[in-house]
Chain A
């Protein structure tokens, strides 16, 4: 079964600081990888996804993530955060051929103006 680990559940940082959120998964086969964002009071929205090709994926709002197969990781980064990036961020993994997404427990990110 696939499982997903996200560390540092609560992250507090100032505007313009850099953000990196870790995501590790446990599945040895081919995977599709996702980062979703949930702004306060809203539903989950896709930030970016990896399916194949370039392991460095660019998403919306200046976010990017790098798939490192040897480390089973898909870390999310943003060089300079804004107050509007305050949200909860979820990593999700889908094993190819499996119809289910496994979600991590999320990172609650608070950006202080």
Chain B
């Protein structure tokens, strides 16, 4: 079974709609991250969280919000989706111990029409 899961895996929506992407993990890690991947741009950090009460903006947080409902769950919301938010979204986790390796979910492909 996958340690980091994301739902949905694919989503097509229209401009202006509210969308929530969900991430769950069974690794017991306290640190969770949301990235978006665009061709030729690599991965860019949207938000990250160290625990339920700690939320931090990444480099491209505008237009997004997050919720850390529990240690194992970290949701990303697009309040009013726009076409340039079409991308592949990845959730990741990281243990506070060791060498800062991050573990990635399978990704959500979001298309905003």
Contacts and interface: CB of A to CB of B under 8 A. Distances in A.
Interface of A: 6, 9, 32, 34, 36, 42-46, 49, 51, 90, 92, 94, 99-101, 103-106
For the complex of A and B, the 9 pairs showing the least CB-CB separation, nearest first, are A51-B99, A105-B42, A94-B100, A103-B43, A44-B104, A103-B42, A43-B104, A43-B106, A32-B99
Interface residues of B, number: 23
A100 B42 CA distance: 15
B40 A9 contact: yes
Nearest to B45: A100
Contacts of A34: 101
Interface in B40-66: 40-45, 48, 50, 58
A49 B43 contact: no
Contacts of B42: 6, 90, 103-106
